[in-house]
């Protein structure tokens, strides 16, 4: 459990420093307009992963079987 806690702390630090990464980001070089929004990539990445996990979870309700299913 200790390693898990440490990793979550490290991630917390990373997540907190991400706004500073924007000092390297050039908003003039965007293409679609949607990537112009501050926080588009972090929020989109987070929501995408949450969505995928939820879909996988829903999927598992029907298609997940015991691993001796075919034996």
**Which residues, 6+ apart, have CB-to-CB distance to 40 below 8 Å?**
34
42 is a contact residue toward other proteins (CB under 8 A): yes
For residues 58, 59, 60, 61, the Cα torsion angle rounded to the nearest 10 degrees is 60
Which secondary-structure segment (H or E) carries 69? Answer: none
59 is a contact residue toward other proteins (CB under 8 A): yes
Indicate the DSSP class of residue 38: T
9 is a contact residue toward other proteins (CB under 8 A): no
Provide the minimum distance between the beta carbon of 18 and other proteins in the complex, in angstroms, as a whole number. 6
Q: Which residues bind other proteins (CB under 8 A)?
A: 3-4, 7-8, 11, 14-15, 18, 21-22, 24-26, 29-32, 34-35, 41-46, 48-53, 55-57, 59-60, 63-67, 69-70
């Amino acid at each position: 459990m200790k390693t898990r806690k440490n990793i979550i702390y490290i991630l917390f630090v990373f997540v907190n420093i991400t706004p500073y990464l924007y000092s390297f980001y050039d908003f003039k070089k965007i293409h679609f307009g949607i990537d112009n929004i501050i926080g588009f990539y972090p929020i989109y990445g987070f929501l995408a992963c949450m969505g995928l996990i939820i879909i996988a979870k829903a999927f598992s309700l029907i298609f997940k079987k015991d691993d001796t299913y075919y034996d």
